[in-house]
Amino acid sequence: MGASGLEIDDRLDHGEKIDDPAVERAAAAASFDASAFRQEVRRFCRECMPADIAAMASKNQYFDREQRVRWQRLLADTGWFTAHWPRAHGGQDWGHLQRLILIEELERAGTPWIAHFGVSFIGPVLIEFGSPEQQQHYLPGVINSDTWWAQGFSEPGAGSDLGSLATRAVREAGGYRVNGQKTWTTMAQWADMMFCLVRTEQTQRRSDGISMLLIDLKSPGVTVRPIETYDACHHVNEVFLEDVFVPAENLVGTEGQGWAMARFIVERERLLVTEIGRAHRFLHELHALAAKVCDGGKPVSQSPSFRRRAAQLEVRYQALRATVYAAAIAADEGRHHPVDPSLLKIRGSELQQEILDAVIELIERSGLAYQSTALFGDIDGGSRGGAHIPGLIFDHLHSRLTSIYGGSNEIQRGIIAKALLQV
């Protein structure tokens, strides 16, 4: 076993089957070879990642829209980008397991994060709930990344309590008049379209009156304003909707179905929020840093207390990895466990936070220099212990968000309590 104990890398390159027997069996049942596929994705990342993107990935830098789109198109060319969609819509009917392997490997290689809003969220929603016209109109733009989508769920008054959302859509000739405000809208500054939860009716049960509209962000009355966050990087926004006209054909499904669609998104996508590949990448960073950073003249990697802490993190990583694979296999076999999505969200975010806490403790002794420009490759952090340091500081700060967005860890624990204890 290597110094890091994360030996999974090396053996694969010698052609060994590195996945657990249960994973290999489940893969075989789905007619693919887990290790061979993993190998193929690794080769793709090594050989096909454009040089500028690879250079930025090695420094943990922040990709712009153009780079993300370019990468997504390369993935689309392989057919992997939408492979989890049904064949009838340009997919390959992949199950959760194969998608998990793909995403894990992409994350481990540090490739640009796939913007899930299109390919994982609205695409599958339109396939499940949308009209044939909507499918024809919007799915090609998702597949080739021509359309950038944003998710308009949260509002200033509706965070954890999404059901209390107050953005109103009032019917008028040919469509709806929408008024309200969305917030925390990720990458809305790049977006062309936003799938948006709105209230079309005041109902007894609040969630019954919620519908989903597709809003063109170039419509008159839409204002996107950046939210300044502590990482000095613009990624979230407020979206103001003032008398915005939305054509009737942009309603997805029927009025009142919005809540079901929101749940559909959340339940299908929780395997991915585990971000097990990112955790692996950060563990590697931790070990690499510890070998370089010295304390009292000796590399930190030689300190018994550091080694013990790293070992603890490895245990947590392996436990979570086993759990997410088990959950994927179970889901593919139709044995979906109701608490799995919440479990994976909680543990995935906590693990990232713990690893990046250890990372920041290695970096902080040289002063925590942080300029967001360094995230975009403008300056070289050479004298500050390496050009990849600002990116790691960003990742540390960002890790705090992982237990807040997409339903906070407190909310996830509440969901588990309800399901498990039937309270």
Number of Cβ within 10 Å of residue 419's Cβ equals 13
**Cβ-contact 310, 290 below 8 angstroms:** yes
Rounded to an integer, what distance in angstroms lies between the CA atom of residue 156 and that of residue 236?
13
Rounded to an integer, what distance in angstroms lies between the CA atom of residue 179 and that of residue 219?
13
Choose the one of other proteins, ligand FAD, none that binds residue 185, judging by a C-beta under 5 to 8 angstroms depending on kind: ligand FAD
Q: Which span (66-74, 163-171, 260-268, 398-406) binds ligand FAD, by CB under 6 A?
A: 398-406
Rounded to an integer, what distance in angstroms lies between the CA atom of residue 282 and that of residue 279?
5
Strand partners, 172: 175
Rounded to an integer, what distance in angstroms lies between the CA atom of residue 167 and that of residue 199?
6
Between 8 and 293, whose beta carbon lies closer to other proteins?
293
Residues in 136-155 at the binding interface with ligand FAD, rule: CB under 6 A: 151-154
Choose the one of ligand FAD, other proteins, none that binds residue 383, judging by a C-beta under 5 to 8 angstroms depending on kind: other proteins
Shortest Å distance, C-beta 391 to ligand FAD: 17
Q: Is 186 in the site for ligand FAD (CB under 6 A)?
A: yes
Query: Which contiguous run of DSSP H or E holds residue 323?
Result: helix 304-332
User: What phi and psi, each to the nearest 5 degrees, are found at residue 25?
Assistant: -65, -45
Residues in 215-244 at the binding interface with ligand FAD, rule: CB under 6 A: 236
Shortest Å distance, C-beta 264 to ligand FAD: 15
Q: Which span (7-15, 24-32, 191-199, 404-412) binds other proteins, by CB under 8 A?
A: 404-412
- Site size for ligand FAD (CB under 6 A): 19
Residues in 296-335 at the binding interface with other proteins, rule: CB under 8 A: 296-297, 303, 305-306, 309
* Cα separation values, 418 from 250, 360, 413, Å: 35, 36, 9
Residues in 360-399 at the binding interface with other proteins, rule: CB under 8 A: 360-361, 364-371, 381, 383-384, 393, 396-397
Choose the one of ligand FAD, other proteins, none that binds residue 397, judging by a C-beta under 5 to 8 angstroms depending on kind: other proteins
Choose the one of ligand FAD, other proteins, none that binds residue 230, judging by a C-beta under 5 to 8 angstroms depending on kind: other proteins
Number of Cβ within 10 Å of residue 5's Cβ equals 17
Residues in 33-52 at the binding interface with ligand FAD, rule: CB under 6 A: none
**Cβ-contact 41, 74 below 8 angstroms:** no
**Cβ-contact 305, 379 below 8 angstroms:** no
Shortest Å distance, C-beta 134 to ligand FAD: 21
Q: Is 150 in the site for other proteins (CB under 8 A)?
A: no
Between 24 and 357, whose beta carbon lies closer to other proteins?
357
**Cβ-contact 198, 188 below 8 angstroms:** no
Choose the one of ligand FAD, other proteins, none that binds residue 31, judging by a C-beta under 5 to 8 angstroms depending on kind: none
3-state SS record for 261-309: HHHHHHHHHHHHHCCHHHHHHHHHHHHHHHHHCEECCEEHHHCHHHHHH
Choose the one of other proteins, ligand FAD, none that binds residue 406, judging by a C-beta under 5 to 8 angstroms depending on kind: ligand FAD
> Given the rule CB under 6 A, which residues bind ligand FAD?
151-154, 159-160, 184-186, 236, 401, 404-408, 410-411, 414
